[in-house]
Amino acid sequence: MRTPHGALLLLFILACLRGAYSGGGRSRFTSIISFGDSYADTGNLVMWADPVLPGLPLKNLPYGETFFGHPTGRATDGRLVLDFIAEALGLPSVPPYLAKGSNFSAGVNFAVVGAPALNLTYLQGLNLTVNPPINSSLHDQLAWFQKLKPSLCKGQGTDCFESSLFVMGEFGGNDYISFLLSNRTVEQARPYVPQIVDSISRGVERLVQHGAKYIVVADIFPIGCLPGALTKLANPNKVEYDRHGCLKRVNRLARYHNSLLRQQIMMLRYKYPHTKIIVVEYYKPFLAFLDMPEHFGLNSSTTLLTCCGAGGPPYNYDFNAGCGLPSVTACANPYQALQWDGFHLTESAYRTVANGWLHGPYADPPIMHVAF
């Protein structure tokens, strides 16, 4: 029987009130290997940038201001969900793959800001604008992993990844955003959902075939609640918006993706019973933030406003004045904000999402139930 959303929300709040990330003792995991997009990138894009992408705003303050005090390549004001997971498992922050001279003995992060599930050439062949236009897709990241695998394993054989936690995603959000920002409708994007989900499913299966025993697979956010999407797709018809002010049609697309993804994971679990595949959610905790922002220390009047942006209400988002550009400043209290730069959340929000993955209810099973 399906657990009511209200009951899940109560469990989520109780988990957050516990406050502690560590489960005590020593985790079974000695490394984290991550794939994904801007919700997981700990620095790959900024290391890729010059001279390919000069003047990248992500390299400037106020990115990174909350925790690190300087930009790190993370698309937020501080830490990501991945950082909190590493902390909870007693591991160091997962270093980006492109960081020269890094020690990958405790993990490596292949995630890149803007990475789609489908290949760049394929998306461009559909006349979509892909930003940034680089080969960083799921397929590309898996190729980097395969190239690095011999140095990660160093003769350990088939047991190489027995104590590694693989984190897959999220993936798919950038594919749909490419459709929507290329002036395609939700109806035009919808037929590609099975293909995008299949790409993710095949990626998970490749990891299993490489010896992964523990894989976390993330769903996608309610894209119709992000200020960038709300600004681009603004509609005078109020019927298009839900009670939170999010675009219903866009969020139906995200829910369709998440539903198909869960079905694919169920099939993979059946096919590979000796691999633990953990499904984690971004979508439902995001709705929890909108339902009861004050319970998470968020300002209820700014849940759809960009903290680091320009233009003022209703979304404080301007495509020509993005975070990191001169004269664009962040809000005074980012720890009370949900939305950071129009497409990403704040460290405060990511901390709470991480707690939902680690302890439940937004992970099946919770990561900490597997780790110890």
Q: Quick count: other Cβ atoms within 10 Å of Cβ 327?
A: 6
Q: Which of 36, 33, 109, 41 is nearest to 75 (CA)?
A: 41
Q: Quick count: other Cβ atoms within 10 Å of Cβ 196?
A: 24
Cβ-contact 303, 338 below 8 angstroms? yes
- Name the token pair of 239: 């019927």
104: DSSP letter: -
Q: Quick count: other Cβ atoms within 10 Å of Cβ 198?
A: 15
β pairing state of 164-168 and 214-218: parallel
Please spell the DSSP secondary structure of 315-352, one letter per residue: T---TTS-TTSTT----S-GGG-SBSSSSSB-HHHHHH
Quick one: 216 exposed, middle or buried, by C-beta within 10 A (0-12, 13-18, 19+)?
Answer: buried
C-alpha span between 38 and 171 (Å, rounded): 10
Q: Which residues are catalytic?
A: 38, 341, 344
94: DSSP letter: P
Cβ-contact 113, 75 below 8 angstroms? yes
